[in-house]
């Protein structure tokens, strides 16, 4: 009886996972960031804390850029005219410095709340 109950529990859990499934990147909140020749817009990037989300970065400039945060351990290089995304599993509440590694004076703050 215990084996049957354990098998039934595993089957139900697998069925629920199949029905609900894990959160897909298409279903996540999307926060858009523009990088252009040494500027990051918005300068304060507000994101949800403790929630999966997608940061969509577009380079509208004429030179390559690299979105980087040492605190978040994330980086993404983009050619001129390119768009790419970074999916964050969760970010603790707080403020995090971000910058363009190719334009060292270009800085912004990612705020999770």
CATH classification of the domain holding 35:
2.60.40.420
pLDDT of the residue at 12: 47
In the predicted model, is pLDDT for residue 22 greater than 70?
A: no
Judge whether 70 lies within some domain. yes
How do residues 39-66 score in pLDDT, each as one tens digit? 999 999 999 999 999 999 999 999 999 9
Judge whether 6 lies within some domain. no
- Integer Cα distance of 68 and 26 in angstroms: 23
Domains of the chain: total: 1
Residue bearing the bigger pLDDT, 30 or 2: 30
Residue in this structure with the two tokens 């020749």, named with its chain if needed = 37
In the predicted model, is pLDDT for residue 19 greater than 70?
A: no
Judge whether 74 lies within some domain. yes
Judge whether 5 lies within some domain. no
If you average pLDDT over every residue of the chain, what do you get? 87
Do strands 83-88 and 39-41 pair parallel, antiparallel, or not at all (unpaired)? unpaired
Judge whether 19 lies within some domain. no
Judge whether 42 lies within some domain. yes
In the predicted model, is pLDDT for residue 20 greater than 90?
A: no
How do residues 66-82 score in pLDDT, each as one tens digit? 999 999 999 999 999 99
Judge whether 13 lies within some domain. no
45 touches 110 (CB < 8 A):
yes
Judge whether 9 lies within some domain. no
Quick check: helix, strand or coil at residue 16?
A: helix
Q: pTM of the prediction?
A: 0.76
Query: Which structural domain, as residue segments, surrounds residue 56?
Result: 24-112
């Amino acid at each position: 009886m215990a084996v049957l109950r354990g098998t039934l529990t595993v089957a139900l859990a697998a069925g629920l996972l199949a029905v609900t499934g894990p959160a897909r990147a298409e279903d996540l909140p999307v926060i858009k960031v523009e990088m252009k020749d040494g500027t990051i817009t918005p300068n304060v990037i507000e994101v949800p804390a403790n929630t999966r989300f997608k940061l969509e970065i577009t380079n509208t400039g004429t030179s390559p850029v690299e979105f980087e945060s040492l605190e978040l351990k994330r980086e993404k290089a983009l050619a001129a005219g390119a768009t790419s995304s970074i999916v964050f599993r969760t970010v603790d509440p707080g403020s995090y410095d971000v910058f363009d590694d190719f334009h060292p004076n270009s800085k912004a703050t990612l705020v999770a709340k």
